[in-house]
Amino acid sequence: MFKDIVSFYLGEEKKGGFSTVIAQDGFFLCLEIYSGLDNDQGYKIVESIKTKIKQKLTTEKYLINNLSEFDDFISSIVTENNFPTGFSLASGYLKENILYLKTINEGKIFIRRKGKYGLLLYADNTASGEIEDEDFFIFTTDNFLNLIGGRVKIEEIFADKKPKEIVDEITPFIKNKNDQGAVAIMVEFLKQKVYQEEIEEGIEREYKTNIFSSLKTYFIAMRNSQKTLTVIMAVFLFGLLLWSMTLGVKRKNSLLIEEKYKKVNELINQKLETAQEVAFLNMDRALILLQESKEELNKLKTEAENLKVKNNKITDLEKKINEVENKIVKKELANYREFFDLTVDDKEAEGEKMILSENNVYILNKKKGVIYNLSLDKKSLEKSEFSEIKSANLLTSYESRIYFYVKDVGVYEIVDKNKPKKVIDKDKDWGEIIDLSVYNGNLYLLDKEKDEIWKYLKTDNGFGNKTSYFQKGEAINLSEINSFAIDGSIYLSGNNLILKYTSGTKESFKYDLPSNKFNFFKVFTNKNLKKIYLWDKNSGVVYVLGKTGEYVSQLNSDIFQKGNDFVVYKDEIYLLLKNKIFIVK
């Protein structure tokens, strides 16, 4: 059996193209697609390949048994993922002591064996053969080869060095050039049998020594002691023998896990270093490397748990992954403090919804039929109390005017604490109205059922007739949407989705988030803010984006899982939690 020591080089992503490396379950793939593929498509291909590898290499029914089957396997990857015509790859698969190899187009595989170095495979070819101890293979493409300086330069750099030493040496050199799309995997194979025999021989020596010592003591006891004492000693020595055997197995398992840790630690550290290098320009790739690091660690943890081995180094490695992840995704553990307690005015006060208007927040207490008006600058509290508010579902405000929506009735307006006045009657075209907002005096109703945003223009006498906010042909299915925010453009958010519209037309809004699993409870922004705030209540996270979708940071706090609503004022988050308002930052 052989173990593989792996290192890789991953250049910046080429615009319009995609490149990646995969090292999984003895399978190695170095892929460069020149054009015709964006990052999202590329990462979907990577996940598809990994799933196929796992199925093919771990399911007995589908196992690869010869070079022809490996060739067919790689061809099926290309076909099923519909690779563009311009691509190159170099791949390999180690089964026991046989290495199967395949290259396509500009893919190249080099070998170093017993101090001799050469090009083993290139263009559209396959090969297979037995590997030897300390064999060193390089899977790459012409792009990387040209950056290094060609085959002659490669021989100089790769002579008598370990994979990680090579990557450390070449990285500063290549980074000074245009390394877009450059990829390479370097693999050294070492015999595990030698290491295994050393462990077993050591344990066997320890085991025999313990047995000999125990037996010697036993015979002395039989010669010098009475019968009772002899029996006691026999029982004791039998227990000692069992203890020695158990200790030997534990020591063997610990040594095996320690050896595997060394390999995994080296691979994970390289992935983490690369992730930090590419994070600024390519967050998606950095996140994939972080995920791969976690997967490698989980495999090691599972194996250690199965062998009942506790290794503190594994725990330390897990902490390191988390630290690098927090640094890359700018994950912050948010602190919070109480800002205001509504019960100072009423012991039964409680809030359900909260909206921001200039420097005030309006808080809906549907149960009591009250809307509180809290000045964030002065911390002064006023309230409007009317029976109609007990039926309110949604709330918004504009220039000291409060608007609230009552299902199956319409929209009411409160001005200067006067009795609510209905300003918009229920419309037969309405479906399920789930959000309400005002911008420049105009009223917007988000209709989830009818896939519409109804717009009502402000007039001298109230509001005019409704129109669709969307331009012709721009409306989409809003069944997954649960919130919207307006700053001139409209941002729609919901289950795993963010959309941006301007003047009723959908914009190309590409956003980078450090996760593809989110469920947004609310989106918040306005014309006074430079950022967009997305609240994933289930995860207890608020993600912060720039107005063009660039990722800024994320705030994590258990209070985000408990809150009822939130707003942002002067870049500080104000969170409503029943009868209290907290500042979270």
pLDDT tens column, 93-127: 998 889 999 999 999 999 998 888 888 999 999 99
Single residue among 328, 355, 379 that ends a domain in this structure? 328
Mean pLDDT is highest, among 266-275, 354-363, 505-514, for 354-363
Whether residue 369 has pLDDT greater than 90: yes
244 vs 313, higher pLDDT: 313
Going by pLDDT thresholds of 50, 70 and 90, the confidence category of residue 48 is confident
**Same structural domain for residues 178 and 251?**
no
Average pLDDT, the chain: 87
Residue where a domain stops, chosen among 280, 296, 328:
328
Task: Determine which of 12-21, 53-62, 71-80, 518-527 has the lowest per-residue pLDDT on average.
Answer: 53-62
Structure tokens given for 298: 């989980």
Q: Which of 276, 267, 291 is nearest to 327 (CA)?
A: 276
> What CATH number has the domain bearing residue 422?
2.130.10.10
Instruction: State residue 397's pLDDT score.
Output: 96
Tell me if 118 is assigned to some domain: yes
| Domain shared by 150 and 279, yes or no | no
494-516 pLDDT per residue, tens: 988 899 999 999 998 988 788 77
Give the three-class secondary structure for 71: helix
267 membership: H or E segment, kind and range: helix 227-278
Last residue of a domain, one of 304, 328, 352: 328
Instruction: Clarify whether residues 428 and 297 are in a common domain.
Output: no
Averaged pLDDT for residues 62-68: 85
- Assess if residue 219 is contained within a domain: no
Range of the domain at 54: 2-192
Give dist(CA 453, CA 445) in Å, integer.
5
**Do 152 and 287 lie in a common domain?**
no
- pLDDT category of residue 240 using cuts at 50, 70 and 90: low
How far apart CA 504 and CA 468 sit, in angstroms, is 9
Instruction: Convert the pLDDT of each residue in 152-186 to its tens digit.
Output: 777 777 777 888 888 888 888 888 888 889 999 99
The whole-number pLDDT of residue 233 equals: 59
Q: Is residue 455 part of a domain?
A: yes
CA 514 vs CA 43, 284, 541, 559, 583: distances in Å? 14, 8, 12, 21, 24
Tokens in use for 253?
Answer: 């398992």
Q: Does 65 have pLDDT greater than 80? A: yes
Quick one: 155 and 285 in the same domain?
Answer: no
Residue 241 is predicted with a pLDDT of 58
Q: Say what the pLDDT of residue 13 is.
A: 80
> What integer is the mean pLDDT of 263-287?
81
Are residue 67 and residue 88 in the same domain, yes or no? yes
Q: Is the pLDDT of residue 249 over 80?
A: no
Nearest Cα to 495, choosing from 470, 520, 513?
520
Q: Is residue 88 part of a domain?
A: yes
Give the start-end residues of each E strand in 358-451.
360-365, 370-375, 381-385, 392-398, 401-406, 410-415, 421-425, 433-439, 442-447
Closest C-alpha among 26, 176, 41 to residue 92: 26
Residue 151 pLDDT greater than 90, yes or no: no
Residue 502 lies in a domain: yes
Pairing of the two strands 370-375 and 381-385: antiparallel
**Do 323 and 349 share a domain, yes or no?**
no
288, 355: one domain? no
**200 has a pLDDT exceeding 60:** no
CATH number at residue 44: 3.60.40.10
In tens, the pLDDT along 382-424 reads 999 999 999 999 999 999 899 999 999 999 999 988 899 999 9
Q: What percent of the chain has pLDDT over 90?
A: 52
* Count of domains forming the chain: 3
Beta bridge partners of 397: 402
Helix, strand, coil abundance in the chain, percent, nearest 5:
35, 35, 30
Are residue 314 and residue 354 in the same domain, yes or no?
A: no
Whether the CA torsion 399, 499, 521, 511 is positive or negative: it is negative
Contact call for residues 137 and 111 (beta carbons, < 8 A): yes
Residue where the block lists tokens 């009818």 = 450
Q: What is the DSSP letter of 302?
A: H
pLDDT higher than 60, residue 238: no
Q: Taking a C-beta distance cutoff of 8 angstroms, is the pair 74, 89 a contact? A: yes
pLDDT range class, residue 11, cuts 50, 70, 90: confident
Residue 158's alpha-carbon distances to 112, 140, 269, 366, 450, in angstroms, are 8, 14, 21, 73, 64
Residue 352 tokens read as 């359900």
The answer to the question of residue 128 being in a domain is yes
pLDDT (mean) for 140-155: 86
Nearest to 148 by CA among 9, 6, 7, 5: 9
pLDDT of residue 246: 60
Q: Which residues of 253-272 are buried (b: 16+ CB within 10 A; e: fewer)?
A: bbbbbeebbebbbbbbbbbb
Confidence of residue 195 (pLDDT cuts 50, 70, 90): very low
Q: Are residue 25 and residue 168 in the same domain, yes or no?
A: yes
Same domain, 432 and 507: yes
Whether 11 is covered by a domain: the verdict is yes
DSSP tally for the chain: helices H, then strands E: 9, 35
**For residue 245, what pLDDT is reported?**
56
pLDDT at 194: 46
Residues 306 and 353 in one domain: no
Amino acid at 56: K
Q: Does the residue 197 lie in any domain? A: no
Residues 6 or more apart whose Cβ sits within 8 Å of residue 422: 409, 410, 411, 412, 413
